[in-house]
Structure 1
Amino acid sequence: MALDSLTTLSAVEARRLIRAHELSPVELLDACIARMEAIDPAINALAARCFERARIEARRAEDMAMRGGELGLLHGLPIGVKDLEETAGVLTTYGSALFRDNVPAHDNAMVARIRSAGAIVTAKTNTPEMGAGANTRNVVWGATGNPFAPMLNAGGSSGGSAAALATDMLPLCTGSDTGGSLRIPASLCGVVGFRPSPGLVPSDRRELGWSPLTVSGPMARNVADVRLLLAAQAGYDARDPLSYRDDIEPLRGHALDASTLRIGYTDDFGTCALDHATRATFHAKVEAIRRHVKVCEPVDIDLNGIDRCFDVIRAQQFVAQFRETYERDPALLGPNTRANYEMGASMSLADAVSTHATQTALYRRFQEQARHYDVIMSPVVCITAFPWRQWHLDAINGQPLDTYYRWLGLTYVMSMMTNPSMSLPCGVDHAAVPFGIQLVGALRGDARLLDIAEALETAFASDDALARPTPALHALAEPSHELKSIVTHPPSIA
C-alpha cells in the first residue's frame, strides 16, 4: 500500500490486516511518522515524540504477529497519548513550564492498559497547561491550530489528539474530559470523542478519588475505532475507588437501525449561552437528522443552577492538585490554573454542601426526562472556532461571560450528570468549520450509546449535510511559525 493509504486506514481495519499478516506494524508506523513530519509543522498537534522507541516496539510487534498466537486488541497500532497522561520514559509536561523536563518512571494505569493491549505509544499530544481551558496552547509546546484553518483553535483540552486524528497522523489517540475536553476538540476538528461513565476507564492519578468529574477516554475518526480503544482502556483497577467490573464488551456492539431511534433534543439545557448562528446551525442539523430517525423532538430540560455546581466541584480539584505549588509561589502557575485554585481556596464547606444538594436534585430530574428517549442530543460547542490567539471566549451574543470557561457549558452540564456522552461529527457549521452533535446516553449505558452513535454515523455518511468533513491536507504543507510563538524556552525532549 502507498503511505497515504496506510495512514487513512481505520484502526479496526489496520488491526485486521496486521493479524492476517497483510500489514506490517513497521510499515504502518513509518507511514504515520512520515505524515507527522509532513503535516505537524502546520498545526502543532504533537508534544514529545518517541519515534525510535516506537520503531523498536513495532519490530517486536511484527515478530510476534508472524509467530502467531494471541495478540492484544491494539497490537501494532500507533497511538498518541495526551500530555496529561504519564508515560514511562517519555517526556510528560502537562503543558506546564514546571514539568518541562519531567520524564516519568512509570506509565499511569490507562497508559499501562493500552500498552499491554499492544498499542505503540508514538507521540504525546498537546494540551493547555494542566488541561485548564478549551484552547490548546501553552508555553512549553505552543498552540495547536485547527486542521481546517490553522489560525483558529482546535478546542481543548485534548486538542492535540483531535488535530492529529483529523489529519491522519495517527489512527487512535487518548484524551481526558472534565468539562468537555474530549468532546469539544472532537467537534471542532471533525472526529469522535467519547466521555465514558466515571470508573469505566480506571485512573490511579486523581487526587480526589471519589470525584466523578474527570475521566479518561478514547478519540478516533469513527465510532468503531473509538469502541476498539475503549475496549482496551476499560477494566477494573482497585486503585480507582470508582472503578467497576462491567460486561460492556465494547468491541462487539449490537447493530441498530437509525430509523428506529427516538431522540430528544435541547438547544441549551435551559441554562447554557449559545451563539445565535450556532443555534441556527443546530436547528438545520436537527431538520436533516429527522429524515433518518423515528422521533426527533424537543425536550424541555432545565438545568438552571448547574453552573455554580460545576464551579465549586471543579475548583475543589484544583485546590487538591495545586495547593502546595501555589503556597510555594503563585507565579509558578499559569493564569487559568491560578484563577481556578484561588476560586476554590475562597469557598466554604457550606458552598460544597449546597452544591452537592443542588447537583443531586438536578441529576434526578434529568435522569427522569432522559429515560423516555434512546439518546438526548445537543450542540457540543456554543460558537464556531475562534482564533487560538484569543485565550478564551469573552462574550456570547454581546453578553459578557463571567468566567473564562463558561463557554463550555453545553458539555460540562453533562459531565455533572455523569451519563456517558460523546461528540459525533455532523457536517460543518455556518463558518465551514466541523460541527459536532453531543449525544448523551442512559446512565452507565456506554455500550448502548456507542451502538446508537454507530447507527447515526452510518446514516449520516450518505447525507451531504451531515457527513464527517475532512481537512484539505495540501493546504497544510507550509509550517506555521506563529503556533510556536508563545513558547518562551525550547523544551527538552526525552
Structure 2
Amino acid sequence: MSEMFDWSAVALAEKVRRRAIGAVEVVEATLSRIDAVNPSLNAVCTVAREQAVAAARALDGRLARGEDGGPLAGVPLGVKDVIDTAGIRTTYGSPRHARHVPEADALTVARAKAAGAIVIGKTNTPEFAAGASTFNAVFGATRNPWNPEHSPGGSTGGGAAALAARMIWLAEGTDLGGSLRVPAAFCGVVGLRPTPGRVPSVPVPVADDPWQVNGPMARTALDVAALLDVQSGFSSDHPLSVPSTPVSDEVARYDVRGRRYAWCPDVARIGVDPEIEARCREAVRDLEGAGAIVEEIDLDLSSAREAFLAMRGLWFVGQHYERIDDLDGFGVNVANNIRLGLATTVRDLARADRLRSDNWRRLAAVLRRYDALLTPCVPVEPFAADQNYPTEIAGKPMRTYIDWVAPTFVFSIMGVPAASVPAGLSAAGLPVGLQIVGPRFHEGRVLGIAHAVERLRPIGRPALAG
C-alpha cells in the first residue's frame, strides 16, 4: 500500500470510484500512516478515527450499489482546527474551546463530504489562526516534515505539514494574511488564497468579512483545483458569495508559452533572503525556458503594510467582539491584535482604505499589462519550530511580529487570488515558495502557472515521508 501515498488526490478518487481500491482500505492505511508519522510532527491534532471508517464504509456501500462516489471519492481530508466539523472536536487552538464539538459542518466541509472526501481529522493551527507559525496552548507546536527542528509556518501549518508528510491528500484552511500560502511555501506544497466570494465562508461571526477566506491546499496544483471546484459556488448564506465555474480543466490545459508575466523580488520592501530570491529567480528562468515572457518590474506595495495592520485590528475586534473585555483568556497574539484594533481610530481606518486603494490601482495596472505577477512568497527560510516569528530579514529588523509575511498580506487586502508553489530547495534542504498573483476570479490561470512550475521544478519529498 505504500505506493498509494504517492498518488494524487485526483488519481486516488478515480481508483476508488472504479473500485480498484476500497475507501475503507484507504482510510485504514491512512490512519496507520498517521499513527506512525504524526507523533514526530504534531500536524493532525484530532484524529477522527471512528467517523472516517464509518464514512468510508458508507461510501464503499454506495459504490457497490452503482451510485456515484463523487469527484473526491474516498480522499482523506484534513480540516484546519478553526473550521467546524460535525461531531469532531474543534478547538480553534484555544483553551477556551478545548472540549468543543460542533453540531454542524462548515459549508466547505459539507461540500467536500458531499463530493466523497473523508474527513480524517483536524489539523493544528495557532489560536484562532493568529500567527504565521503553528503552536497553541492546547496541542503545542507543529513541526516541519523537511526538518522537524523547523516551523511549518502558519496558520494552516498542520495541514501543510500533514500533506508534505503524506498523511493526507487534501487540506482545508483559511487565509487572512497568508495562512494558506506561508505554510505551503515552508512545507513544499501548493496553497491557494481564492478571490473573496468564490468559496463561501459559512459560518463566520461577521457575515460579509472580505479579508479571511476559506481555501484549498494539496501537494499538486491539479489537486488544489479539484478541491477548489468542490468548495466554490454560490451560497445564499454568504453575502459576498458569487457563482463560480470549475477551473480544473483550465489548469490541466494551461500553457505558459507566449504568456507575459511580471517578476518583482520585493513588493513589500522588507528585504528578501538572498537564497530565497535566487531559487525564485531560477523558477522564473525556467518559465522563460518553457516559452513564457517574463519582465522584471519595480512594484512598491509597501504602504499596504500599514493598511493591513489597521484592517487586521478591526477584523480581530469584530471576530471576538463578545470577549474584548476578557483579553486575559487569549494568548498573546490574539490579545495584542485585539488591543491594536481597539486603539485604531476612524481616521486610521480611513487612511488604511486610501492606502489600500492606492496600492490596488498600482497592482491593477500591472495585472492589466501582464497575465500574472510572480514574487517570492515568504522572504525567509523556515525558522525554529519554537520561534514565534523572525526578528529580521537580510539584516533588516521587522517592525511588528507579522511584518515578515507582508509579501503575502499585501495581496490579501487587494482581493486577488494568490498561490504558493514550490520553487526549489535551499542549501539546507528546506522548501522555497514562489507566489503567483492573478486578476480577481482568475484562479484557473494562477493554478495553471503553478502546475507549470511544479513540473519544471520538482522538489521530491521530505525524508520523513519515506
TM-score range, shorter chain: over 0.9
AA of the residue aligned to 1:204: V
Aligned to 1:490: none
Task: Using the TM superposition, name which of 395-404 and 415-424 deviates more.
Answer: 395-404
Within 5 Å, which residues of 2 pair with 1:113-128?
113-128=111-126
1:211 Cα deviation (Å)?
A: 3.1
Aligned to 2:459: 468
Mapped partners of 1:121, 1:394: distance in 2: 37
Give the counterpart of 1:13 among 11, 26, 47: 11
Counterparts in 2 of 1:334 and 1:418: CA distance versus 1, 3 Å: same
1:331 matched to 2:322 = no
Within 5 Å, which residues of 2 pair with 1:76-475?
76-246=74-244, 248-253=245-250, 255-269=253-267, 271-327=269-325, 329-458=326-455, 460=456, 466-473=457-464
Contact 2:93 2:126 in 1 (8 A): yes
Mapped partners of 1:386, 1:55: distance in 2: 37
1:270 Cα deviation (Å)?
A: 5.1
Mapped partners of 2:236, 2:120: distance in 1: 28
Q: What's the CA shift string for 1:4-63, capped at 9, x where partnerless? A: 112222111111111112110011111111111111111110111111111011011001
Counterparts in 2 of 1:270 and 1:326: CA distance versus 1, 3 Å: closer
Q: What's the CA shift string for 1:287-318, capped at 9, x where partnerless? A: 34432232122022111310111001111111
TM-score (norm 1): 0.91
Counterparts in 2 of 1:455 and 1:398: CA distance versus 1, 3 Å: closer
Counterparts in 2 of 1:82 and 1:474: CA distance versus 1, 3 Å: closer
Give the counterpart of 2:51 among 50, 53, 56: 53
Q: How many residues align?
A: 465
Mapped partners of 2:33, 2:125: distance in 1: 20
1:388 Cα deviation (Å)?
A: 1.2
Mapped partners of 1:228, 1:166: distance in 2: 18
Mapped partners of 1:82, 1:76: distance in 2: 19
Aligned to 2:69: 71
Contact 1:128 1:136 in 2 (8 A): yes
- Root-mean-square deviation (CA), in Å? 1.5
1:256 Cα deviation (Å)?
A: 2.5
Mapped partners of 1:294, 1:55: distance in 2: 46
Mapped partners of 2:327, 2:268: distance in 1: 37
Mapped partners of 2:394, 2:19: distance in 1: 56
Mapped partners of 2:144, 2:268: distance in 1: 30
Give the counterpart of 2:26 among 20, 25, 28: 28
1:222 Cα deviation (Å)?
A: 0.5
Mapped partners of 1:288, 1:223: distance in 2: 17
Q: What's the CA shift string for 1:62-103, capped at 9, x where partnerless? A: 011111133322222211100010111111011111111111
Mapped partners of 1:315, 1:275: distance in 2: 28
AA of the residue aligned to 1:392: Y
Contact 1:428 1:469 in 2 (8 A): no
Give secondary structure in 2 for the equivalent of 1:151: coil
Task: Using the TM superposition, name which of 64-73 and 152-161 deviates more.
Answer: 64-73
Contact 1:326 1:332 in 2 (8 A): no
1:401 Cα deviation (Å)?
A: 1.2
Contact 1:109 1:202 in 2 (8 A): yes
AA of the residue aligned to 1:66: A
Unaligned runs of 5+ in 2: none
Mapped partners of 2:35, 2:454: distance in 1: 30
Aligned to 1:489: none
Give secondary structure in 2 for the equivalent of 1:149: coil
Give secondary structure in 2 for the equivalent of 1:48: strand
Q: What's the CA shift string for 1:413-467, capped at 9, x where partnerless? A: 1111111110111221233201110011122111222223223333x1xxxxx21
Task: Using the TM superposition, name which of 350-359 and 35-44 deviates more.
Answer: 350-359
Aligned to 1:481: none
Mapped partners of 2:287, 2:447: distance in 1: 17
TM-score (norm 2): 0.96
AA of the residue aligned to 1:187: A
1:362 Cα deviation (Å)?
A: 1.4
Task: Using the TM superposition, name which of 413-422 and 286-295 deviates more.
Answer: 286-295
1:263 Cα deviation (Å)?
A: 1.6
Mapped partners of 2:268, 2:315: distance in 1: 26
AA of the residue aligned to 1:310: F
AA of the residue aligned to 1:106: A
Mapped partners of 1:397, 1:467: distance in 2: 27
1:474 Cα deviation (Å)?
A: 6.7
4+ runs of 1 displaced by more than 4 Å? Answer: none
1:213 Cα deviation (Å)?
A: 1.2
Mapped partners of 1:70, 1:474: distance in 2: 32
Mapped partners of 2:464, 2:38: distance in 1: 11
Mapped partners of 1:19, 1:80: distance in 2: 20
Contact 2:163 2:170 in 1 (8 A): yes
Identity %, equivalent residues? 37
Task: Using the TM superposition, name which of 418-427 and 149-158 deviates more.
Answer: 418-427
Mapped partners of 1:299, 1:398: distance in 2: 24
Mapped partners of 2:340, 2:365: distance in 1: 32
Aligned to 1:485: none
Give secondary structure in 1 for the equivalent of 2:87: coil
